[in-house]
Amino acid sequence: MRIVSTVDEVRSQVKAWRKEGKSVGLVPTMGYLHEGHESLIRKAVAENDEVVVSIFVNPMQFGPTEDLASYPRDLEADSKLCESAGAALIFHPEPEEMYQEGFCSFVDMNGLTNALCGLSRPVHFRGVCTVVNKLFNIVMPDKAYFGEKDAQQLAVIRRMVKDLNMDITIVGCPIIREEDGLAKSSRNTYLSPESRQNAVILSKSIFLGKKLIEDGERNPEVVKKAMRELIMTKPGMDIDYVEIVDNNTMQSIDVIAGDILCAIAVRVSGEARLIDNFMLSV
């Protein structure tokens, strides 16, 4: 497995693979990889001849008060995980390689991004769309892999690929959880041991919401209220949102029907803002 830091190095490697008639998969990440990322890489390895993992903490998708500076980084551990999962290339650029002097072009979106995380993170999806677009143009993969934990991001990227006629298949992969249910996230490392214990209430509320709907509840307000109340039984919980939306448009619904996304974002003890969700076809 090679680790490269320039666009030119990625391009010439991918060109060589293409000459051999090989297919290429891309797993875009911000590093500090865990079993969730590993599942994406393993799926990509199973479905493509060669797999590129990008590791880039993208400054453009962080707001001014967010955790860009403290976002965890560990290239050595990441390389080990990528190699053992079967990736062929890590692309690990510096911000200056991705955003050269004078950079002023962006990919932006309306609608899908004006809900859920887009409300409290107004610049986030513009940064995600722009960097993912750049990574697609650099690697030109056949398939790209994203986790369902970032459900809104997945919907946004699917929409971008459709709207802008990108010839790339987007593959969504299921949420991977800790043994107690907490969704795996690089940001879980921000939690103190006590907050980590309390944070399990997020996944418990997700499982509760899912069960209520599976048992027949069709009023989103009833489900959201029950989930909120459960989350608030633990100290230090500051709910950003508990929402049930149409999984294609991200807009709120009055009745639970069709393809729905139930998503939550909660700040835990001021230490980490964590998200979780479930999707259902009702």
Binding site for ligand PAF (CB under 6 A): 28-30, 58, 61, 128, 131-132, 150, 153
Closest approach, Cβ 128 to ligand PAF, in A, equals: 5
Alpha helix locations (H) across the chain? Answer: 7-19, 35-47, 75-85, 95-98, 117-120, 124-139, 151-163, 193-198, 200-214, 220-231
Query: What are the tokens at 5?
Result: 């830091």
Burial class (CB in 10 A: 0-12, 13-18, 19+), 214: exposed
Whole-angstrom distance, CA of residue 119 vs CA of residue 123? 9
In the complex with ligand PAF, which residue's Cβ is closer, 79 or 198? 79
Closest approach, Cβ 153 to ligand PAF, in A, equals: 6
Reported as half-sphere exposure (CB side, CA atoms, 13 A), residue 267 has a value of: 9
For the four alpha carbons of 190, 194, 197 and 198, in that order, the dihedral sign comes to negative
Q: Are 264 and 231 in contact (CB under 8 A)?
A: yes
Is 37 in the active site? Answer: yes
Closest approach, Cβ 71 to ligand PAF, in A, equals: 10
In the complex with ligand PAF, which residue's Cβ is closer, 29 or 203? 29
Q: Look at the chain and count its residues.
A: 282
In the complex with ligand PAF, which residue's Cβ is closer, 63 or 258? 63
Instruction: Look at the block and give the residue holding tokens 């599976």.
Output: 214
Closest approach, Cβ 50 to ligand PAF, in A, equals: 19
Query: What are the tokens at 261?
Result: 């996304």
Q: Are 256 and 262 in contact (CB under 8 A)?
A: no
Active-site amino acid positions? 37
